Structure 1
């Protein structure tokens, strides 16, 4: 029997174009599941109940915070897209591959899963430990596909900081979840509908 030798493992960079649609989706779902598990575990280690973070708020003010941030982000993105060359906002084609051919219900599902998983980790767990500023730096760093260009990196940092701010102001994780969902869903729809045109 052949022995396993860790020195024979080779790691290589793979472009998004080399992934099949199925593998791209599998990667997305697995990374979001890992994100959620880390967020839940981190909250437990902080001595907090992560499920209490998902408790529905009493009033509807979280809607104003979440939708207000989403509208602001989408307006800024629309303004920037008028003056910033497309190559300066290039993410390597990842968003196009994820959203370009999806049915609308699947874009909504993906946006909801990403919003809940990432907000549980970043706002629910990490921000509690290190604050909104450092959480936003980490959030921008893990969105590695944007790091090639300073404009999308700055936008991701700013959006993250805004998500952290509305979390603190509203007192509920549902405000950043709603904002994150609305931003991703509407951007996904724009990509989908632009491709059809």
Structure 2
């Protein structure tokens, strides 16, 4: 009797233990990013036709891609991002309409990968106005903008990261830097 009972117990254990494992995938995870406090300092370099406030955790560097001395970058080394700023003077050879068209084309080039592009306009107390292109989805640049005084000065900017675009993983950083871009645009002043 004890042999039969032992055989039944062993056979029950054998059949219940041989079930195939059910694969449960782990949820996708991203690196945690610790953000600094929003604080700003003034960029007002001698000879530059514009000034603005930028984040203290940003670093101003000269843009090496062009010989224009007023083209600079705001680098965010801890976040892996960079805002490219390109300045042009409005002249008869480069009228405002041409600069606006170029800015539109450069921003809507990302339409191929973008889920949407919102274009809220802004106007600051220094009589500077423009458009901030909010590009959604896996586009290479989440934010692009232009700012002008409509008579002499035109500044274009674009935020890029040194990684493959992934809207989900970059969303927290993009949202964090959006506040800084808004602050830069609200304090932008042409001389």
Q: Work out whether the TM-score is over 0.5.
A: no
TM-score by length of 1: 0.28
TM-score by length of 2: 0.28
Q: Which has the larger radius of gyration?
A: 2
More strand by share: 2
Structure scoring higher RCO (CA < 8 A, sep ≥ 6) equals: 1
